[in-house]
Amino acid sequence: AKSKTRWSVGLPMLPCSRRATMTKEDGQRSQAAVPIILSLDELRVDLAPDIRRHLASQYESLVSRSPFSSAVSEGDDDDSVRESSSRPSSSAAERHLDRILDAMKRPPSATCCRVNIINSSVEEVRVRLDDALGPWRERRNAARRLRLLRAAAADDDSDGGRKRRRPEGSAGDEHDAEKEGEGRTGDEGEADDDVDDMIARPSGALPDVLLVGRSGARASTAGALRGPPPIASPNSSSGESSSPRAVFPNWEKRSERGWPSTHRALIVDRLCGEAVLRGSDVFVRGVLAADAGIAEGEDLAVYAHLDGGGEDEGDGGGGKKSAGSAKAFPRGLLLERYGGRCVFLGTGAARCGRADMFRLPRGLAVDMSSSSSAGAAAAVGPDLPPLNGVLESEMMLQNLPSAMVAHVLGPRSGEAILDMCSAPGGKACHVASLMRNEGLVVACDRSRGKVVLAREKFKTVGATCVVPLALNSTRCVVRDGSPWRSPKEIIESASATKKDGLLDVKAFHPESFDRILLDPPCSALGLRPKLRVDIKTLRDLSKHAEYQRRFASEAVALLKPGGTMTWSTCTIDASENEEMVGHVLREFPSMELAPIPFDLGRAGLPERGLSDAERCMVRRFDPCDDGDTMGFFVAKFVKKARS
């Protein structure tokens, strides 16, 4: 009974039957699995060999052309390329793919905020956003000053008391702490860590987009760390510092397993980890495993689970897989029993105790902007504030290439516009914003649940011209010969379902819409940050392009002659981008490409189904490009008017 009690402590989410049968031997077997702990720099986003060959081959013609090939050669001096060139791959195309994958695991250096001009002007949002950043700046700078104070105190004690110390918290002490930080860089100090220059500024490329980030931001040096750096602890009797100050001073196996002895730690799921890299805090639903004894207010080391399991690589008795996890383990697992692969994200301050992290249905678990540990890495990603939920009715977080799509579509007041794969609804909101709610925007998605959530977003931003519909966009054209009716007539005559109040509309008549925004389901091989790729085979990857063709044929049928259609994806895969554009041009002679009037991205890849003139009319974004964006693709079609 004693051994069972020992191993069940701190596992509030495990089923009672599982806890009751857990023995000391079970725990010892689980402890035998040693976790693999990586720094972000060490993490490699792996691809299946056939997928890797497929993606590398699409860049062969690109890297062989001047001046891009010389740019790749010059890039060989970068650490990321030196690392990739030491791998088995040797061709320039494969090295370029490695650069993309290395950039993919890191977020862009700024957060893109698209202004909802239905409710506010860009300048009004810029001012309010700067005001909203004020408390974050204060917390961030206060934590920085405290870290410097503690580091200075440790330095004083390591000198055997030779420095005269003021009482902690005095103005002079704070001044000395600032002086201690001067001249330090990277992990030694934080001379460049002040965030007073964290501002919202116009993007310069799109008129309704603001970028939030530090001016002249540079990459975090914490990307090389597998955990918080050691914190010196003063030894007043000897005048020397003992290293490190330990929360777990006598737990040798902890350091052998790679966990920090200076901090308690927790592990979040992969999707939560990717959000943290973009500036988010940790919320309770994202926490998977944690040390025992975590108390509110203490600094924690935070890691993201990548793959591998905890207990027996199974479902942990809970029968459910964890979000962002290839293999499941029980949520609520003690850290000492974790045996998966994870990556270090930084440190933050606990905002609740361990029990509440696994008991509460929602709430903040870790504030990533408030770490005060001397020498600790506050963030592995760029120093960005959490903006989710900030000014919700006035702006929306949206990646820069994605925010370009509605501008490329060019909606006009009074038009009927179809967003064929709308969820979660960001682009439909943008179209409504550009139209100033004057017209009709039909926002479709196959998932009723996603459409219901999108409907709430439309209400929040005041997009009253948007009509959300749950329908299958691969079969949404009326072909039964019934009398033609406009989208407005179909919607006005439709009845709401009792289940969720969505209108019961399943199809529209041919040539009904002035403009169509088509952003079909894709392989998402362009999202940043992306810590792991889940697509296992080339066959799985190719299914995306096959599925997308079904959306394209319906879109062409629904578009009016003279109308405009955009095609966009968040992937670098040419079979879903340039080759799909070529497919539309070949299969539907009524469709032709139109130039995109924005100086963003670059031309499409050569020798992927488009002529040089055609590929110059599409826009491709690769994660390693100078624009520092996600991977994305946009094309603009116009349907020829009848002669």
Catalytic residues: 570
Collapsed DSSP state (helix, strand, coil) of residue 532: coil
Strand locations in 52-176, DSSP E?
111-115
Neighbours of 67 (CB within 10 A): 8
- The answer on whether 424 is annotated among ligand-binding residues is yes
Q: Do the beta carbons of residue 600 and residue 403 sit within 8 Å?
A: no
Instruction: Name which of 124, 119, 74 is nearest 99 in CA terms.
Output: 74
298 C-beta neighbours (distance < 10 Å), count: 15
The DSSP result for 374-385, as a single string, is: TT--S-SS----
- The Cα–Cα gap between 439 and 465 comes to 6
Give the CB-side neighbour count of residue 588, counting CA atoms within 13 A.
25
Distance CA 205, CA 488 (A): 34
Q: How far apart are CA 61 and CA 608, in angstroms?
A: 9
Cα–Cα distance between 386 and 393 in angstroms, integer?
17
Tokens of 178: 């600032």
- Residue 326 DSSP symbol: S
Q: How far is CA 207 from the centre of its chain?
A: 24
Is residue 421 marked as binding?
yes
3-state class (DSSP) for residue 488:
helix
Handedness of CA 386, 391, 393, 396 (dihedral sign): negative
Read out DSSP for 175-240? HHHHHHHTT--TTS--TT---TTEEEEE-SSSTTEEEEEETT----GGGG-SSPPP--EEETTTTE
Taking the CA atoms of residue 282, residue 458, residue 438 and residue 508 in that order, the dihedral angle to the nearest 10 degrees is: 120
Distance CA 521, CA 447 (A): 12
Q: What is the DSSP letter of 166?
A: P
User: Does 425 show up as a binding residue in the annotation?
Assistant: yes
**And the tokens for 227?**
């955990």
Q: Tokens 């270090």 — which residue? A: 344
Residue 427 annotated as part of some ligand binding site = yes
The reply, when asked if residue 595 is annotated as ligand binding, is no
Please give the biggest Cα pair distance in the chain. Answer: 95
Spatial neighbors of 5 by CB under 8 A, at least 6 apart, are none
Cβ contact 478:507 at 8 Å: yes
In the chain, DSSP finds a helix count (H) and a strand count (E) of: 21, 22
The answer on whether 98 is annotated among ligand-binding residues is no
Distance between CA 547 and CA 474 in Å, rounded? Answer: 9
Report how far residue 419's alpha carbon sits from residue 295's, in angstroms, rounded to the nearest whole number: 47
Q: Which of 379, 381, 330, 385 is nearest to 358 (CA)?
A: 330
568 forms bridges with which residues in the sheet? 634
Query: According to the annotation, is 382 in a ligand binding site?
Result: no
Known binding positions for S-adenosyl-L-methionine: 421-427, 445, 480, 519
Specify binding-site residues. Answer: 421-427, 445, 480, 519
